[in-house]
A and B are shown apart, each in its own frame.
Chain A
Amino acid sequence: MVSYIFRRTLMAIPLLLGITILSFAIIKAAPGGPVAMLMDPKMKASDREKFEEKYGLNDPVYVQYFKWLGNMAKGDFGESLIKRGTPVSELILNRLPNTLLLMTVSFLLAVLIAIPIGIYSAMRPYSPLDYTFTVGSFLGVATPNFWFGLILIMFFSVTLGWFPTGGVATLNAPFSLWDRIHHLILPALVLATADLAALTRYTRSSMLDVLKQDYIRTAKSKGFKEKKVVIKHGIRNGMIPIITLFGLMLPSFIGGAAITEKVFAWPGLGQLFIDSAFQRDYPVIMALTVISAVFVVIGNLLADILYAIFDPRIEY
């Protein structure tokens, strides 16, 4: 197992390289640049050249790429072009915990709600509750995050005043756990909805399939009550196909988080990504791309490890 994880990690390196090359090329191909964003109409052409010279923006793209790659290998992601003088790593480290917190909480929320609902629906298919959950999850899938977020803010924060409209904590207030949770609830809920809905559907269909299997009939023939049959003989088998989904969901949370973070003014990586993309802040974009790619790799690796834990038929 350990050697398998090691091998898988090694195999991820070419993948990561490929991702960085592609993203570098795409970013450079996009029109505009940091200079245009920063440009002061009064800025002299010579100053502009100096700026471009300093940050190597005039070098051929492949030279820029290898310089960047070399620095990154040393752990240096460079400096932000927009917030000049601030190391990219500092920008990211400041925001990473916020994003991780939001992602983890909404992931747990999605899993803890979706799986029991999916299992119930599979046990009582076509029951009134099952139909209710089905309609609910289609709405959940179909509702765009930003819209749902805005609706929640309007209703719960603006009209009712139950929740803050955004941010991670009340500004200039001493740390308080309740305050943090209070700020977290709405964005976590919004970020969870789409995946929650999809996960419910997948759990339902996977469990429906499992409950038709011969070994479930065997379990019933042993005299076990329905609950025990489902919990002991059904769930573990039903979770096996869901695990792949976990692996895929992890990176998708970053994409989903970008919009949610923007709506809730949540100072996380997603927001940073949107801002730096608009400002063509190349070093920041690249660093975030690498981090997302690493998340993809970790997600897949975690899924494979979980697979091995859940399914004894898999051997390494």
Chain B
Amino acid sequence: MTALLEVKNLKTYFKKKKVNIPAVDGVDLKINKGETVALVGESGSGKSITSLSIMRLIPSPPGEIVDGEILFDGKDIVKLTENDMCKIRGNDISMIFQEPMTSLNPVLTIGEQIIEVLMYHQKMSKSTARNRAIEMLELVGFSRAKALIDDYPHRLSGGMRQRVMIAIAMSCNPKLLIADEPTTALDVTIQAQILDLMKDLSKKSDTSILIITHDLGVVSEVADRVVVMYCGQVVEEASVDDLFDEPLHPYTTGLMGSIPSLDGDVERLYSIEGTVPPPEHFPVGCRFAPRCPHAFDRCRNEDPSLITIKGSRSVRCFLHGDKEATL
């Protein structure tokens, strides 16, 4: 399998009052063609900043990619000019966001918001683009697309708006779709519909997906591979099956404990004690050490590195791999 996207040692920092806030601090990530990768982790672990870095949409100032490479189709996105990046955004890589209610422009018709992308990237004429927009709306499940196209977003529910966002994102057949918590704001039945839709579309058009979520239920449903993030770093990476069979990192184990089980045992929801430290107060040594039930002396003094295990998965923890080798 060839890699479509390869993020290497990505560091995205925010500069505030002379302190550097390392929101993303050396992330490695790989997405193959046609693959769906889930990026999970608690709030504040740097998932959104990672994805916005890939889109080169980090608010700057204060944010900046300070180190690393983002290879997309072999080209390093970090080095592209803004003009070249504009040709990729919305065309080769597109993105849908967590907030369907506010992500559409309230003063433009739904049709216009799809058509403008097609005219811009695909150089379609207005009427061709309009037909394609209707097709896209039908594809994402609107039966009366022809009427809907001239409507304004305020008449639509959250789930419908998210489907419009998907129609916009998929209209140029992107190679990569980044979905930042696309279903968090929606209720459960709609969540399932949206996830099915994304799976379906990616299969049809061979689009790779990077889906960001802190819901492991969503992960097991859609993803091929999982990348677990904590405090701006990747702590574990494995195929879905491997990860659910045998989570290696204590943080992953903790997250799994946090899945609300089907019999409604909600008390287990917050089974990792403590909270994610803010980036300006990341602890030295293993960043998870203050919350880790297995932490030992070495964890508090030394940074564990991400090591490959069994050839197919990797983990950042002293409990795994050759403990002596790195001493």
Contact = CB atoms under 8 A, between A and B. Distances in A.
B105 A223 contact: no
Interface in A227-245: 232-233, 236-237, 240
B50 to A, nearest CB: 15
A310 B102 contact: no
Interface of A: 213-215, 217-225, 232-233, 236-237, 240, 310-313
B86 A224 contact: yes
B86 A313 contact: no
Nearest to A225: B86
B114 to A, nearest CB: 10
26 contacts: A214-B97, A214-B99, A215-B103, A217-B57, A217-B97, A218-B165, A220-B89, A221-B55, A221-B90, A221-B95, A222-B89, A222-B116, A222-B120, A223-B87, A223-B88, A223-B117, A224-B86, A224-B120, A225-B86, A237-B106, A240-B107, A310-B107, A312-B107, A312-B152, A312-B154, A313-B106
Nearest to A235: B107
A232 B94 CA distance: 19
B107 A311 contact: yes
Contacts of B45: none
Contacts of A313: 106, 152, 154
A130 to B, nearest CB: 14
Given A222-B89, A223-B88, A215 B120 contact: no
A220 to B, nearest CB: 6
A310 B116 CA distance: 19
A99 to B, nearest CB: 35
A234 to B, nearest CB: 9
Contacts of A240: 107
Size range of the chain B interface in the assembly = 20 to 34
B116 A215 contact: no
A215 B154 CA distance: 13
Residue of B91, B102, B107 most packed against chain A (CB within 10 A): B107
Contacts of B95: 221
Contacts of A222: 89-90, 94, 116-117, 120, 168
A232 B165 CA distance: 18
Interface in B72-107: 82-83, 85-91, 94-95, 97, 99, 102-107
A218 B103 contact: yes
B108 interface: yes
B121 interface: yes
B104 A218 contact: yes
Return the 8 tightest CB-CB contacts between A and B, nearest first: A223-B89, A223-B90, A222-B90, A214-B102, A215-B105, A312-B152, A221-B95, A223-B86
B181 to A, nearest CB: 13
A223 B91 contact: yes
Interface in B103-139: 103-108, 116-117, 120-121
B89 A215 contact: no
A55 to B, nearest CB: 56
Contact of A237 (B55, B97, B105, B120): B105
A214 B107 contact: no
A293 B274 CA distance: 64
A237 B106 CA distance: 8
Nearest to A221: B95
A233 B108 contact: yes
A240 B88 CA distance: 32
B32 to A, nearest CB: 23
Interface in B43-60: 55, 57
